[in-house]
Amino acid sequence: MLTSLTIKNYALIDKLQVTFKEGFTTITGETGAGKSILLGGLSLVLGKRADLGSIKNSEEKCVIEACFAIQHYNLESFFEEVDLDFEKLTIIRREILPSGKSRAFINDTPVTLDILSSLGERLIDIHSQHQTLQLTDNEFQFQVVDAVAGNNIVLDDYAEKLSEYHSSKKELMKLIDFQQEADKEYDYNSFLLEELRSAKLQEGMLEELEASYEKLNNVEEIGENIGHALQILGEEQMGTIAGLNELKSIFNKLSKFGTVYKELLERIQSVLIELDDVNVEIQGIEEILEANPQQLEEVSNKLQLIYNLQKKHNVLEIGELLEVQRELEEKVSKTENLEEEIKQKQLEVLAQEEKLDKIAGQIHKNRAKAIPGLKSHLETVLSQLGMPNAEFKFVLDKTDKYFANGKDALHFLFSANKGSSFNELKKVASGGELSRIMLAIKSLLSQYMHLPTIMFDEIDTGVSGEISNKMGDIMQQMSKTMQVFSITHLPQIAAKGDMQFKVFKKDKDGVTASQMKELSTDERVDEIAQMLGGKDLSASAMAHAKELLRL
């Protein structure tokens, strides 16, 4: 429940600090005194978007702070989920800086507006005059039925499964779209792939082919030079080997005359061995060297094929061609396997639809079971509020569509008078009737939603007399299980409060500011008497006020 509220530098408020108790609290004051400002400040601390124009003094920051006693509302899991320390007395603070920047804190820990708003929804329900129009909104009507039906857990399960279903449907459509595009490219990709496969590409083969081509294409020149080399090495009179053998014989004779000649002999022997080996290898080349026009043509054609493939695919290396081949294999393979993949995804979607249908069926069953009790409660309360002939008709139809909250269509129909046809609320209910219907709904929802606090902003609009007295009784009854606030212009409701606050304006140093104070018993008598008969407090008004306050 809300235990205190502090507002600084907001709209017409310089500084306001009030404390609240459990039970039923009424807030009164003249039109324009600042009751809406109070609600605006409270809305900000609960996560509403900030407006720089709401700062009273643009050179100072605006601070709004609310303290809530939350030990009895099972909020520990929420605090754990958003990684905040749970405190039995939780302080929410909102700051709006002169720059326009806004900051939010929960127990002095900075938080996002989303977290602040999420916590606020769990702490207090502010019912404004605008919210009464929600009665005509189909989503709100579903919320009412589902709260009474106890559908919260099953709706969460449905929402989770629906998200998975939409994701699978999206993946299926992507596969189908991909298949349509892939089918167009399949033949061309298959042709390109076969072209690359037939080339039997391997890393390093281009260099080998180019070397073979050079050899085969220049076989005559190579043969001539090989023959010349062998002549230089092996010619009996002038050949290099013959010369080295002669040198070897000379230094063999000289080796006995000193180590220097012996060392030269060893070096000559080493060179001779190497040249003999070179000679043998060159001879081997000569033996296998022959013109082969057919092989030359084959190598030339292979090279040309590779060059053409490189040009077609705009690459320079065999490795890049192999990468293109791998990519084409993947595309072709994926296209060939798409049919099976689509079939599997379709089966998955069908299985998810079956699960959704089962859950949606339970949601419908719960709603259908809850509607008679909801109808009876609303009609009973409205009878107490001066609408004895009011009737509701809830039309709940199954559909084939998957909505965010099930597969039902709901029509919330109303008739205020006997003999009148049923129609949508927005077409047949007046403002005063909508206010009474909303109060009846809120009184019922308070039993199911277990909110700590609810605040009604002039929910008594359009009613008076005994009806307002009954509305006060209902709010008073609600306050036995939750904290209830009512901003009201009606003395009958104001007098029902366990405590009463007055919002008023006060001029100081030429500046008007809104203030708020808790009224004592005597002050309540005066305030309610003024609400009954104006500023001139007549004896009858005073007596009536005391009667309303049961003094």
pLDDT of residue 357: 95
pLDDT interval class at 475 (50, 70, 90): very high
- pLDDT of 276 over the 90 cut: no
pLDDT interval class at 285 (50, 70, 90): low
Nearest to 56 by CA among 9, 97, 102, 8: 9
DSSP tag of 387: -
Structure-token pair, residue 526? 């005066």
- pLDDT of 334 over the 60 cut: yes
- pLDDT of 387 over the 80 cut: yes
pLDDT of residue 33: 67
> Residue holding tokens 């999420």?
118
Per residue in 132-185, pLDDT (tens digit) is 667 778 888 898 999 999 998 999 999 999 999 999 999 999 888 887 777 666
Per residue in 476-518, pLDDT (tens digit) is 989 988 999 999 989 999 999 999 999 988 887 778 888 889 9
pLDDT of residue 288: 61
pLDDT of residue 222: 56
- pLDDT of 101 over the 60 cut: yes
pLDDT of residue 216: 59
Q: Which of 86-100, 190-204, 262-276 has the least mean pLDDT?
A: 190-204
The percent of residues above 70 in pLDDT, for the chain, comes to: 87
Most confident of 35-44, 237-246, 395-404, 463-472: 395-404
* Helical (H) or strand (E) element with 178: helix 152-198
| CA–CA distance, 90 with 37 (Å, rounded to integer) | 23
Q: Which residues on neighbouring strands pair with residue 291, listed in sequence order?
A: none
pLDDT of residue 347: 94
DSSP tag of 201: -
| CA–CA distance, 531 with 525 (Å, rounded to integer) | 10
Nearest to 252 by CA among 267, 271, 232, 230: 267
pLDDT of residue 505: 85
| CB 463 within 8 Å of CB 12 | no
> Residue holding tokens 């709940």?
396
| CA–CA distance, 1 with 499 (Å, rounded to integer) | 15
- pLDDT of 218 over the 60 cut: no
| CA–CA distance, 224 with 286 (Å, rounded to integer) | 10
For domain 1-129+449-519, which architecture applies? 3-Layer(aba) Sandwich (3.40)
| CA–CA distance, 526 with 455 (Å, rounded to integer) | 24
Query: Residues 6 or more apart from 549 whose CB is under 8 A from it?
Result: 495, 521, 524, 525, 528
pLDDT top residue among 133 and 462: 462
pLDDT of residue 159: 94
Query: Residues 6 or more apart from 48 whose CB is under 8 A from it?
Result: 40, 117
- The pairing of strands 483-487 and 102-106 is unpaired
Strand, coil or helix: what is 409?
A: strand
- pLDDT of 32 over the 90 cut: no
- Report the predicted TM-score, pTM, of the whole model to 2 decimal places: 0.66
Sign of CA dihedral 38, 40, 46, 51: negative
pLDDT interval class at 312 (50, 70, 90): confident
- pLDDT of 230 over the 60 cut: no
| CA–CA distance, 445 with 420 (Å, rounded to integer) | 28
Helices (H), 403-520: 425-428, 431-449, 465-478, 491-494
Per residue in 391-446, pLDDT (tens digit) is 999 999 999 999 999 999 999 899 888 878 888 887 877 777 888 888 888 888 88
- pLDDT of 527 over the 60 cut: yes
pLDDT interval class at 3 (50, 70, 90): very high
CATH 3.40.50.300 domain locations along the chain: 1-129+449-519
Mean pLDDT computed over every residue of the chain: 83
Q: DSSP characters for 110-161?
A: E--HHHHHHHHHHHEEEE-TGGGGGGG-HHHHHHHHHHHHT-HHHHHHHHHH
Burial class (CB in 10 A: 0-12, 13-18, 19+), 497: buried
| CA–CA distance, 370 with 337 (Å, rounded to integer) | 50
| CA–CA distance, 65 with 91 (Å, rounded to integer) | 7
pLDDT interval class at 336 (50, 70, 90): low
| CA–CA distance, 52 with 58 (Å, rounded to integer) | 8
User: Max CA-CA distance within the chain?
Assistant: 158
pLDDT of residue 111: 93
pLDDT of residue 109: 93
pLDDT top residue among 56 and 482: 482
- pLDDT of 104 over the 80 cut: yes
